[in-house]
A and B are shown apart, each in its own frame.
Chain A
């Protein structure tokens, strides 16, 4: 290897270590210093468990809803032709460009007690903002692009030859979808779902704005970390952050595995 590229490699590795690995090490050391009791205390604290469960339900809801609608939209984008398609493609990436805080704020304006839609729900005595539905809406918004962006290219590459062959051989539309189309877009879908899970678990800005931060009721795992940090319980915040980091790490490994699978 040439001397120049060796120096460059060294510099890049140093940068990654400094930027990414050092902070990780900082947190692990902090958790190790406060010891196991803080971790077990967190896991036996009903408030913390409830926060993690709420994150779980929000993630599950986002994955199910966005996978169904995301796959449908991918079909519309790849298979249909209509006016304004370019515009629609542009809109899909919008949630990535919008600050999470503003995303949450938009839902307050729309679904808050005085909002365009919220006032109607308010009259029916249904709470959306500062309750689960609002938090789900916010999470759906920020995670919407993932499945679409992963399924569209796979679907485009797959084409319609095999589907047409199945139809000619007498398969119904549903049979064709379940037995031919779905298996071929499966890995793209799973990769999109993995990204959705990672983002939904970690979403903070959008959720804190619409949640109102009601402990035991609208507190997610990320809000719990924020609350503990603000409460000067840094050891507790670190322990909770560590649990989320481990979950993210598992997702990251799954991502690598799925990505290699998808290429085949």
Chain B
């Protein structure tokens, strides 16, 4: 920066961008937060603890946690294979990883119904043999959530793994560390921040996922009704208070994840500077 004084041009630019963010992002978030406390905390609590609302929040949190754990394992393994192993069609496989981000969520839902639905081969087979439904049931929701969140951990871990020097591992091995020791003492600590970042992103995405879930889960209260679908139902039936209550809880969770992510980034930067 040439000078420390702010020029009028800079001020105008700052004014325009701040107004845009204010109108598009800050004001809407403030509006819903104020709305949540419109009728007092007791009213908000009452809306959140309605059995149906509470159940939708509970199943959403549980399923989001499960897919996050699965994604940590499969995502790290995928990143590892993409960076360290050689196999045919590697470039194409690498491109496919992004497919869930490119495909609209509602299309994901339709694809899963086509594959596992009651009219499909797999759906009919499971129905007839085991009297088991994948769709309109939690396994279906799990598959949908796994699909839409798959790229997060892979894409967070992959660049770190690429930069990580093999020499460090080899040095540890030469000094007599066993492969397991190398894995837990050298590789995991290096990858951990990026794994947590990817996990947090998939968790937060799973909490709010709507498009694929609304198709795959159906809308069965106390069975498959996820929080976002519950909120949608309350909006459709003009129950603003009910929609606001559950929205507020989901927003609070997303905020917590966002703060965690920013903290990791801050910590990483300070760590690198040292």
Chain A residues close to B by CB (< 8 Å): 1, 5-6, 8-9, 11-13, 15-16, 19-27, 29-30, 69, 72-73, 75-76, 79-82, 86, 88-110, 115-117, 137, 140-141, 144, 164, 173, 198, 201-205, 208-209, 222, 225-226, 229, 234, 237-238, 241, 244-245, 248-249, 251-253, 255-256
Contact = CB atoms under 8 A, between A and B. Distances in A.
A140 B116 CA distance: 34
A238 B78 contact: no
B99 to A, nearest CB: 6
A86 B266 CA distance: 10
Nearest to B233: A101
A22 B134 CA distance: 15
Contacts of B259: 90
B188 interface: no
Contacts of B13: 72, 75-76, 80
B168 interface: no
Given A102-B231, A234-B113, A13 B93 contact: yes
**Chain B interface bracket (under 10, 10 to 19, 20 to 34, 35 or more):** 35 or more
Contacts of B240: 109
B208 A11 contact: no
Which of B17, B78, B251 has the most chain A CB atoms inside 10 A of its CB? Answer: B17
B150 interface: yes
For chain A, what secondary structure do more than half of its interface residues adopt (helix, strand, loop), or is it mixed?
Answer: helix
Nearest to A24: B111
A99 B232 CA distance: 11
A104 to B, nearest CB: 8
Interface in B125-157: 143, 146-147, 150
Given A99-B254, A108-B235, A209-B235, A21 B103 contact: no
Which of A90, A98, A201, A248 has the most chain B CB atoms inside 10 A of its CB? Answer: A98
A201 B10 CA distance: 34
Contacts of A97: 204, 208, 254-255, 257-258
Interface stretch (B49-57, B82-90, B169-177): B82-90
A99 B120 CA distance: 30
Contacts of B115: 22-23, 25-27
B14 A76 contact: yes
Minimum-distance CB pairs A-B, first 4? A99-B208, A202-B104, A26-B115, A106-B28
B198 to A, nearest CB: 13
Contacts of B119: 234
Given A20-B96, A106-B32, A225-B110, 16 more contacts: A23-B147, A73-B21, A90-B259, A91-B26, A92-B21, A94-B29, A97-B204, A101-B232, A102-B32, A109-B240, A115-B31, A116-B27, A205-B105, A229-B110, A251-B102, A255-B98
Given A102-B251, A209-B232, A26 B147 contact: no
Contacts of A15: 74, 77-78
Given A88-B21, A97-B254, A99-B210, A9 B85 contact: yes
Contacts of B74: 12, 15
